[in-house]
Amino acid sequence: MTRVLVLNGPNLGRLGRRQPEIYGHTTHAELAHQCVEWGQALGLDVEVRQTNHEGEMLDWLNAAADDGNPVVLNAAAWTHYSYAIHDACAQLTAPLVEVHISDPRQRPEEFRHTSVVTPFAVEVVAGHGVDGYRLALELLARG
């Protein structure tokens, strides 16, 4: 069974409470549970993690590169400016799918229109709410 890491960046631990009009009412715990279930149905061993600490995210991405694990990444705010995240994604040896609950390109803030992750992603899934994670896992399961 292929191991897949679903990695979520800053503030995503507040899903369900933070701007539900943008991010919905599903909590991070509920999202994690759904991702594991979706993964099992697709023959994937899914582990979901969330951090507000960039160094921790870098450690996870570096370990995924070393272990050859596919990654579903919602880097949240780091998507738009973190060259450290950019460099860690460049090292990945298995597919990376970039996920965003909202569609950053449709958001009014200009800074959200740039992603330092996209150059390394096999696909970007944006604007599908938490269901975007299911779509990302399906993409990885298809290979």
Give the residue among 21, 26, 95 at the shortest CA–CA distance from 65: 95
Is 101 labelled a binding residue?
yes
Q: Which residues are catalytic?
A: 23, 100
Is 115 labelled a binding residue?
no
Is 3 labelled a binding residue?
no
| CA 100/CA 130 separation, integer angstroms | 8
Q: Provide CB contacts within 8 A for 37, sequence distance 6+.
A: none
Please measure the distance between the N-terminal and C-terminal CA atoms of the chain and give it in whole angstroms.
Answer: 13
| CA 135/CA 14 separation, integer angstroms | 22
User: 3-state class of 37 per DSSP?
Assistant: helix
Q: Which amino acid is at 44?
A: L
Give the residue among 52, 73, 53 at the shortest CA–CA distance from 61: 73
Is 102 labelled a binding residue?
yes
What's 143's DSSP letter?
A: -
Is 45 labelled a binding residue?
no
Is 25 labelled a binding residue?
no
Task: Could you list the residues known to form a binding site for substrate, using ranges.
Answer: 74, 80, 87, 101-102, 112
Task: Could you list the residues known to form a binding site, using ranges.
Answer: 74, 80, 87, 101-102, 112
